Structure 1
Amino acid sequence: MAAIEVLLQCGDCGTLLESVVEAQQHAQNFLHTNFYESKEAICFLLCSTCGQNSRCITESAMHSKRSGHTEFYDRTAEVVEEEARRSRDSLRQILRVAIDHLNEADTSLAERRRQRLGLPSRPVLEEGQSSLPLAARAEQMAECLRTIQQNHMDDAAKVMNALDSLRMFARNIAMYPDEEKYRKIRISNAAFQAKVGHLRGGIEFLELCGFERTRGGEHLYMPREDVNMNVLYSAANVLNNAIGNP
């Protein structure tokens, strides 16, 4: 049973009442005036004979005394699970609304999106340069993000932390390509492991951005000459789409 404290209990029928207003309404409806404080746990007992629901043992006992009905079906576990599911769904909905508000200003114009991400204007491909490898790489990046989302469907916060962290890596390198500290990640770093490193698809995404494992595998490193603004812009765009469509 769920150990939920309540304010009042009706001494006439045993009904649990979770507020003074509820007690007043109960008194008005049934002319019951005998109320006392109670800490009896709320449960959900359904009378098998008439279908009346009792919210505590005392209430079900008094129902049996009045009606002679003695068979009850305990729905407590079902109700608790249903409430937990609704809470998870509500959290996901709140997260989606928050993301929508966060990205609302970016969806109208691509340039505003680049500004919010802190990325420079999209580079122009040189004459004769093929866009196919970049498109293929972007699709692989998107697949990495889908892997993260699918493996953690029940933990929206963990997914969002991972996507935000990956976007931060792309943003920092695009803004400060000469700063080595943004191009070097210690794989064993606790914060990195918690947000990205232990997630399947996380390190693979960074490798598609241009990071390489150093000898010994202690770090992910992106040489200055391998910084590719086209790739970083593509990574940020893929991430922004994933964040906007969780």
Structure 2
Amino acid sequence: MAAKRAVLQCGDCETLLKSVEEAQQHVNNTCHTNFRESNEAILNLVCTLCRKTCTCKTESDYHTKRTGHTEFQDRTAEVEGEEARRSRRRIQEYMQLKLEEIIKAQLGNLPPRVPVLEEEKSSLPDGPATKAEQMSECLWTIKQNHMDAEAKVKTAFNTLLTFAKNVATNPDEEKYRKIRLSNALFQDRVGKLQGGIEFLELCGFERMEGGEFLYLQREKVDMDVLYSARNELNNAIMYDSYIR
């Protein structure tokens, strides 16, 4: 949903500026100095002909009046989703640093940590979010949907971590790469939680045999992806344990 709050609007080109800093940058870029306050919704409307981005309906109308271009693609929800992911990522990275400081102060030295790998270039899907970010989204979803059930969240995270570790340690063992979806224990710990199966699918598991199993084919085992999954889970578990 488009954000509605008091912002500055350029009287010359109708662009919405979210802050004084953005307004100053706009002055530097355009020499426009005529600003007024506005409560118009902040949008992301991209002209399909010239790719000009308009920040509100007024600006897009002004663009149409100047150029005759009338077709716009509304990318507001997509851009807001990307910004929300980046914001959560920054918060998680900040909290990770703070948690490590706390642990160092309490325990002296941290145990060796799974390194944060450079993005898994060969394994990442197309789109604005990396696989690691999508994994983080799944864990965030589990946490948000069960804010009042800390034990359930902890069990889910540890179960997912066990799956990732088992496959990474024993990639040739089929028993670690095959999960029966109807298993009551699996359903209680992971399957019934929104984001749980999605996380395993990001690790490479696929629905097989009419949807009865989640199965990770041996040739599709990607160690970088599994290490990334372990890192996301370790960070989530550490965050969940020490933030309270």
Q: TM-score, length-normalised on structure 2?
A: 0.50
Structure number with larger C-alpha Rg = 1
